[in-house]
Structure 1
Amino acid sequence: MKLISPAFQHGQLIPVQYTCDGANHRPPLTISDVPKEARSLTLVVEDPDAPSKVFTHWLLYDLPPSTQHILEQEALLDGVEGVNDFGTRGYKGPCPPSGTHRYVFRLFALDTQLALPQGARKEDVLAKLKDHVLATAELVGTYARKHTT
């Protein structure tokens, strides 16, 4: 399974429009090679370099396995959004307090639907997908804020 973005390459800088310093749009994503037996997809976006804990920026689950694109501003017609660590549903872009942080977009192909309500927390999503993962894909971007003095 593959996860890429036309906005940035793996390991490269996430453009400012997808961060708190820009429009905070979610970056466009392209999904391919999903296992035929998959029943749903789950996307978890995290900052492992956050100071106090791995910080969740986006949770998206029960996406149809036929999903090939997640577009920048299109309304999500399919899939359910969980609560991020900002305390809201939906995508909130990179906004590191200092230094360069990594942002890990991790996609899971599952043999089931999670059937969790809208607004689930990461812990609940990860607990429910355990033992149901058929394949994973990962895309990592980086971001550092340009602080003005």
Structure 2
Amino acid sequence: MTSLLEVDVEQYGDLSVEAADFNDGEQMPDYVGYVNENENPELEIDDVPEEAESLVLVMDDPDARDAVGFTYDHWLVWDIDPDIETIPRGWEPSAEDATVGYNDFVEADYGGPSPPDDSHAYRFKLLALDTELGLDPAARKAVVQMTATMEGEILAATQFVGTYDPSQGTAF
């Protein structure tokens, strides 16, 4: 069975997530790039179900499969407070705010786009859960997915996509 967090997330419920600096399907600003400022974009979250206990956020690159053979994980955050409305640019949450897991740069942090070839599409996936996961920061995406589906229920899900092509610089 393919993990929900490995594929495109279909809209489920009214949950939404958007970036402040670009629209769905558009080029992301330079500051998000790994070799630039390497800062996550500001994200606006809306319509979290009332019964949600936590949120899970994943940013990944399915286009990396052609270059590295797998979907590359750039950002994995769980146990996000469901009352959050904005994830600020360059967010470094405290342990009380959320748990940041390891990306495929082997860093427990946001790791911005760094496509080895041409433009790639990056998925920002957000899940609302009826439980907190309580996982160690060393957990990877498969463990987060397994725990979310075995110990809780996904109440709502959404995603949006930003593209990144370092040759298409944008000023922000």
TM-score, structure 2 as length reference? 0.82
Given the alignment of the two structures, is residue 128 of structure 1 paired with residue 147 of structure 2, yes or no? yes
- Read off the aligned partner of 1:87 and give its amino acid letter: V
- 1:69 aligned to 86, 103, 113, which one? 86
- Read off the aligned partner of 1:99 and give its amino acid letter: D
Deviations 1:65-102 (A, max 9, x none): 10111101343130000110111101010000011100
- Read off the aligned partner of 1:7 and give its amino acid letter: D
Gaps of 5+ in 1: none
Partner of 2:166: 145
Given the alignment of the two structures, is residue 4 of structure 1 paired with residue 25 of structure 2, yes or no? no
Q: Distance in 1 between matches of 2:55 and 2:31?
A: 25
- Taking only the aligned residue pairs, the percentage that are identical comes to 38
Q: Distance in 1 between matches of 2:90 and 2:105?
A: 20
Partner of 1:93: 112
CA contact (8 A) 1:98 1:145 kept: no
TM-score, structure 1 as length reference? 0.94
- Aligned residues, how many? 147
Instruction: Measure how far apart 1:7 and its partner are.
Output: 1.2
Gaps of 5+ in 2: 1-14
Give the structure with the higher percent strand.
1
Q: Distance in 1 between matches of 2:75 and 2:91?
A: 16
- Read off the aligned partner of 1:98 and give its amino acid letter: D
Give the structure with the higher percent helix.
2
Instruction: Measure how far apart 1:146 and its partner are.
Output: 2.1
CA contact (8 A) 2:40 2:91 kept: no
Instruction: Measure how far apart 1:137 and its partner are.
Output: 1.3
- Read off the aligned partner of 1:46 and give its amino acid letter: D
Q: Distance in 2 between matches of 1:85 and 1:75?
A: 18
